[in-house]
Amino acid sequence: MLKKDDEHPQLTVETIEQATAVQRSISIVFVALCTLAFVLCFLVSAGVLRQIASISTYVPMSSQVTFIGLRLLRTLGIQTLTDANLTFTVITGIEFAMYGLGALFIQGQKSERRNIRIFLFIWLGAIIAGSILVVTQALISHDIFVYAGYGRTIVAHGANPYFVAPAAFPQDPVTHLDDWKDVTAAYGPLWLSFCSLVALVAGTNTTRYMLLFRLATFAAHLINIILVAAILRTSGRSSRTITLGTFLYAWNPLLLLESCFSGHNDVFMITLILFGVFFCVQSERHEFTRPLRSRP
């Protein structure tokens, strides 16, 4: 009897360990499948965007991405030519569904080790989805060429964009793509300086403008992911909260589309705000911004 009683706790511990291992494996498989579905949605949307975009130009790897996206659509039996806008809306809805499902799953996780593994999938999904959008052979918003127009006004024509609109230079290859060519610049000098730098590199090549601004906003999105995680970690939040907060920013389909695809400069504003929040949190915890005389 004693021998059986001694074996029972050991058997219970082994059973618990096995159950934990199985649960861990299921969790990783679930996260991997969510990541795969999320990335495939963006790959499919690349093919759809090619059909509804107002501007289409060649970007390195864009043809391959578009081909794979359209091939996936045909494999799924979806005809985009009938209503590409509706198809894109449905795909975006699926992206948000994966986004919400992933958030609910992370909310239920308590294991710190498991959250670390999930963190790797968060980065993987954000980087792959962002890369797909960067090389997508389409452009819906013309804001990239608005920025390019102001940069060209300074670099190529030596004019002040606060007083001279891009429409003053109709022969410029960027002007006909600029929706705001009749309006003088409303952006600050820091952003116009960046636009000028891009104009120096891109010259008259419109494809380069699209690629450079997308790469810049993609980089800003990745920096913002780091900042969100750093803010939560510095605030002393739990591993689950850090993982969830980082996920909610990194995988937000709207943020990915507006930054990595449309190249909007709003993502840089978010970067500056997050830097400000990070330094505020740092100052509260480490007091490095307080004058030496005011410290006890």
Q: What is the DSSP string of 225-266?
A: HHHHHHHHHHTT--HHHHHHHHHHHHT-HHHHIIIIIT--TH
- Among candidate residues 37, 40, 92, 35, the one with its CA nearest the CA of residue 69: 40
Residue 55, SS3?
A: strand
Q: Which of 163, 180, 202 delimits the end of a domain?
A: 202
What is the four-CA torsion angle of 245, 109, 101, 74, rounded to 10 degrees? 100
- Residues 224 and 107 placed together within one structural domain of the fold: yes
Rounded Cα distance, 277 and 254, in Å? 22
- Residues 225 and 95 placed together within one structural domain of the fold: yes
- Among candidate residues 94, 124, 117, the one with its CA nearest the CA of residue 26: 117
pLDDT on residue 295: 46
- Residues 134 and 148 placed together within one structural domain of the fold: no
Rounded Cα distance, 220 and 270, in Å? 9
Q: What is the DSSP letter of 2?
A: H
Rounded to the nearest integer, the mean pLDDT of the chain is 85
Q: Which single residue is written with the structure tokens 């450079």?
A: 212
Highest mean pLDDT among 27-36, 49-58, 185-194, 284-293: 185-194
pLDDT on residue 231: 96
pLDDT at 67 over 80: no
pTM of structure: 0.85
Mean pLDDT lowest among 53-57, 140-144, 172-176, 236-240: 53-57
The two tokens of residue 128 are 């792959």
Rounded Cα distance, 91 and 40, in Å? 10
- Residues 147 and 198 placed together within one structural domain of the fold: yes
- Residues 159 and 269 placed together within one structural domain of the fold: no
Residue 108, SS3?
A: coil
- Going by pLDDT thresholds of 50, 70 and 90, the confidence category of residue 21 is low
pLDDT on residue 77: 65
Q: What is the DSSP letter of 139?
A: B
Burial class (CB in 10 A: 0-12, 13-18, 19+), 49: buried
Residue 148, SS3?
A: helix
Domain of residue 72 covers: 2-140+206-294
φ, ψ at 196 (rounded to 5°):
-65, -40
- Residues 279 and 227 placed together within one structural domain of the fold: yes
- Going by pLDDT thresholds of 50, 70 and 90, the confidence category of residue 64 is confident
Burial class (CB in 10 A: 0-12, 13-18, 19+), 150: buried
Residue 62, SS3?
A: helix
- Residues 114 and 213 placed together within one structural domain of the fold: yes
Give the tens place of pLDDT for each residue, 131-152.
Answer: 999 998 888 888 999 999 999 9
pLDDT on residue 165: 95
The two tokens of residue 275 are 């830097």
State mean pLDDT over 217-242: 95
Contact call for residues 220 and 267 (beta carbons, < 8 A): yes
- Residues 30 and 127 placed together within one structural domain of the fold: yes
- Going by pLDDT thresholds of 50, 70 and 90, the confidence category of residue 219 is very high
**How many domains does the chain fold into?**
2
pLDDT on residue 1: 47
pLDDT at 290 over 80: no
The gap from C-alpha 4 to its chain's centroid, in whole angstroms, comes to: 57
Mean pLDDT lowest among 21-25, 62-66, 145-149, 210-214: 21-25
- Residues 131 and 264 placed together within one structural domain of the fold: yes
Q: Which of 154, 175, 202 delimits the end of a domain?
A: 202
Burial class (CB in 10 A: 0-12, 13-18, 19+), 97: middle
- Residues 147 and 257 placed together within one structural domain of the fold: no
The gap from C-alpha 276 to its chain's centroid, in whole angstroms, comes to: 20
- Residues 257 and 126 placed together within one structural domain of the fold: yes
